[in-house]
Amino acid sequence: LSKGAVYDGLFHVSDWLPTLLSGAFDAAAVSVTDSAAQLEGRDHWDLVVSATAATDAAGGDSEEDPSTTAVEVSYEVRQEILVGLDLGQRGAADPSGVRAALRVGDWKLVFQEADENSGELGNFLFNLRDDPQETTDLSSAQPSQFEALFSTLVQTYLPAAIKDGVSEPDNSCYDTWDKQGGFVTPWH
């Protein structure tokens, strides 16, 4: 992105590899789309190119204050990010100990987190555009928004985590570490 470009979309760390691959290779010569389909992240290369062009057209490369030439880019590749999902000590056998956080657009659901004031577990809803510090819980004021995010968490992410389950730790990696003189190598 050029200096002064603003992107309000969601960009996860896993998005870097497919994005950089797409930008590094000519899509006609190398099928980045086919390879990227196997990657966890999303390709944001079109965003980088369109935001750069839009910012340059608005004078974003000038010596002016970037805040006066910022260009909002409406192109979004990702609408949601599962921030975290912890099945807890009980694991997949008993999902009642699940803790999670899900972001969809400007909204963030925090599920089964300790309240800073009372210490009791609770569920919280924040509008990150209006409240980036997550100080105002909107779960009671926005029940339909809370329910929408909660449904996405319960119907999409939780079943996948429980299906995959929690496996026992694989300590064979330590044997490989010792055999390889402290180097990380595949152990299976």
94: enclosing H helix or E strand: none
Per-residue CA distances from 82 to 104, 151, 187 (Å): 9, 13, 29
What are the φ/ψ torsions at residue 57 (nearest 5 degrees)? -65, -30
The pLDDT of residue 143? 96
DSSP for 121-184?
EEEEEEETTT-TT--S--TTT-HHHHHHHHHHIIIIIHHHHHHH--PPP-THHHHHHHHTTS--
Checking if the pLDDT of 108 tops 50, the result is: yes
Tell me what percent of the residues of the chain surpass a pLDDT of 70.
63
Tell me what percent of the residues of the chain surpass a pLDDT of 90.
21
Checking if the pLDDT of 125 tops 90, the result is: yes
DSSP for 47-65?
HHHHHHHHHHHTTTTSSS-
The pLDDT of residue 55? 46
Query: 65-99, pLDDT tens digit by residue?
Result: 444 444 444 445 788 888 888 876 555 445 567 88
